[in-house]
């Protein structure tokens, strides 16, 4: 029965409209493993569908199938990109749709590199080595390079789908990349079982049992301990519509709201979201001085996001005023949202972009931690939280990771929920509490195990307050960093592939 099913999938995968449709649907269904549905187990059927017939296909057939799979995956998964471009970038549909589709196609072509490399260099391998070694190895290399190529966009990586799954315990040891590898290894076990039948039992026993035992053991390990030292923190979520945020007539209302709301709070730290103040720092010096005086009188610190002009350059910045000190300039900017690549000719070519702050400069990679009340703070502004190396580089000596964001750009889409889960993964990997302050949701307090302790939903307006606890100790991932995690994960499959490649039959 299983053999017949595998044969039917092999034949179907060779072409036809049904193959295209099912590949699209399989890719789209895998998004169900990510937030907001968070049905983590849905990651496996999609991957099995993608890879099951791979050995029996020609290069052209395999790439065709893989491309449509990833188009389905990204079309649903990052559909929020169109919301940002069309609704808030004021780009007409005639241009916003082609731009979004081009982005989806570029991501899909890049993701399909895994199939190309596996087919090109590892087709000589037996099914067990093909599915258990080559595919996980190549996928992870491609995923890693995706952090850096064309500014990087590691948004929907496989590991992020498991923040609520049973594999999440691997994150403090090997990060989300380690989870991605285990997902692919488990998928490989399923694939070998389907293709090899009874012959596969030895592989299932040899690999499946150690994975299960390791996960059970990791569930019992507490890498860090919660201390008695706490900080009372309040997040202000103003829920200002993005299309009104930068209107001059709205500025007074916005500043008044933050002023009056902060004045009522007795928390040690009050956090406003990214770009909370819709003006340059130099335009609101008197206002900031007033907030500074009010906060100091209460031994309170206020952390806010705003735009800063320093030496003729604009920065997306977070500053602490009152009972604290420090500022952080965002390092990794959003293309077209905060800066325009090849600006000298692209702005003239498509002057239809109407993004209010798209001329920012990058902050330095070496910036001191912000401080308040004997707490050291690592900052990540907006989508910097998706870059684990940026976070890791700033974590030494830090007690808490605070991320400011303006997810109003996402509208009512999947984006804010995915963004929150990525922040949860950073907390879980590094064993550190994460505080997330946003304009219109989802603001949240996340503990060192990636659990959401309190949150304020999308489009809600108000204040969220909680006690945040320091932790003692470090996770192995925080000690070693992302690069070492990759090297550890890939070391064994690398050796296996080197040995088997040398034994490759010569034509």
Active site amino acids: 274, 330, 382
Cα gap 305→327, rounded to integer Å: 10
User: For 204, which DSSP code?
Assistant: I
Kind of pairing between the strands at 452-456 and 443-446: antiparallel
Joined together, the tokens standing for residue 165 give 């799954």
The answer to whether 431 and 168 have CB atoms below 8 angstroms apart is no
Give strand pairing partners of 316: 307
DSSP codes, 370-438 = EEETTEEEEEEEGGGGG-HHHHHHH-TT-SEEEEEE-GGGG-SSSHHHHHHHHHHHHHHHHT--EEEEE
User: For 439, which DSSP code?
Assistant: S
If we measure between CA atoms, which residue out of 475, 381, 369, 377 comes closest to residue 423? 381
Cα gap 6→14, rounded to integer Å: 13
Cα gap 271→305, rounded to integer Å: 9
The dihedrals phi and psi of 329, each to the nearest 5 degrees, come to -100, 130
User: For 440, which DSSP code?
Assistant: S
Cα gap 97→249, rounded to integer Å: 32
Q: Is 441 left (phi over 0), alpha (psi -120 to 50) or beta?
A: left
Cα gap 30→69, rounded to integer Å: 10
Buried b vs exposed e over 427-455: b needs ≥16 C-beta within 10 Å? bbbbbbbbbbbbbbbbbbbbbbbbebeeb
């Amino acid at each position: 029965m299983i053999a017949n099913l595998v044969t039917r999938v092999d034949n179907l995968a060779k072409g036809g409209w049904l193959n295209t449709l099912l590949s699209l649907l399989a890719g789209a269904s895998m998004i169900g493993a990510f937030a907001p549905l968070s049905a983590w187990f849905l990651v496996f059927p999609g991957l099995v569908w993608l890879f099951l017939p791979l050995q029996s296909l020609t290069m052209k057939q395999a790439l065709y199938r893989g491309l449509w799979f990833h188009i389905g995956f990204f079309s649903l998964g990052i559909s929020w990109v169109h919301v940002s471009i069309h609704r808030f970038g004021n780009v007409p549909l005639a241009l916003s749709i082609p731009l979004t589709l081009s982005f989806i196609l570029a991501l899909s072509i890049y993701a399909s590199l895994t199939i190309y490399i596996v087919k090109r260099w590892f087709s000589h391998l037996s099914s067990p080595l093909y599915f258990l070694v080559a595919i996980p190895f190549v996928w992870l290399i491609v995923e890693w390079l995706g952090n850096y190529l064309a500014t990087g966009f590691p948004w929907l990586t496989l590991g992020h789908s498991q923040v609520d799954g049973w594999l999440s315990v691997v994150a403090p040891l090997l990060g989300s990349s380690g989870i991605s590898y285990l997902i692919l290894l488990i998928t490989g076990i399923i694939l070998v079982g389907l293709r090899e039948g009874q012959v596969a039992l030895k592989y299932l026993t040899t690999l499946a049992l150690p994975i299960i035992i390791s996960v059970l053991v990791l569930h019992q390990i507490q890498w860090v301990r919660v201390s008695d030292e706490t900080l009372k923190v309040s997040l202000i979520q103003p829920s200002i519509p993005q299309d009104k945020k930068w209107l001059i007539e709205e500025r007074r209302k916005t500043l008044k709201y933050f002023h009056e709301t902060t004045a009522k709070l007795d928390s040690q730290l009050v956090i406003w979201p990214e770009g909370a103040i819709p003006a340059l720092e130099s335009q609101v010096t008197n206002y900031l001085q007033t907030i500074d005086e009010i906060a100091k009188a209460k031994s309170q610190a206020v952390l806010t996001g705003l735009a800063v002009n320093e030496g003729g350059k604009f920065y997306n910045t977070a500053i602490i005023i009152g009972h604290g000190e420090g500022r952080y300039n965002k390092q990794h900017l959003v293309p077209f949202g905060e800066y325009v690549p090849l600006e000298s000719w692209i702005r003239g070519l498509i002057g239809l972009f109407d993004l209010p702050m798209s001329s920012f400069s990058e902050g330095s990679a070496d910036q001191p931690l912000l401080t308040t009340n004997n707490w050291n703070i690592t900052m990540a502004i907006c989508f910097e939280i998706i870059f684990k190396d940026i976070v890791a580089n700033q974590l030494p000596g830090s007690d808490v990771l605070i991320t400011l964001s303006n997810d109003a750009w996402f509208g009512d889409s999947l984006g804010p929920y995915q963004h929150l889960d990525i922040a949860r993964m950073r907390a879980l990997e590094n064993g550190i509490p994460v505080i997330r302050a946003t304009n219109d949701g989802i603001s949240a307090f996340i503990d060192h195990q990636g659990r959401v302790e309190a949150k304020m939903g999308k489009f809600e307006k108000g204040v969220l307050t909680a006690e945040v606890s320091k932790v003692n100790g470090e996770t192995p991932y925080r000690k070693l960093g992302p690069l070492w995690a990759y090297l550890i994960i890939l070391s064994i499959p690398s050796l296996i592939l080197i040995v088997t490649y040398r034994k490759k039959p010569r034509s």
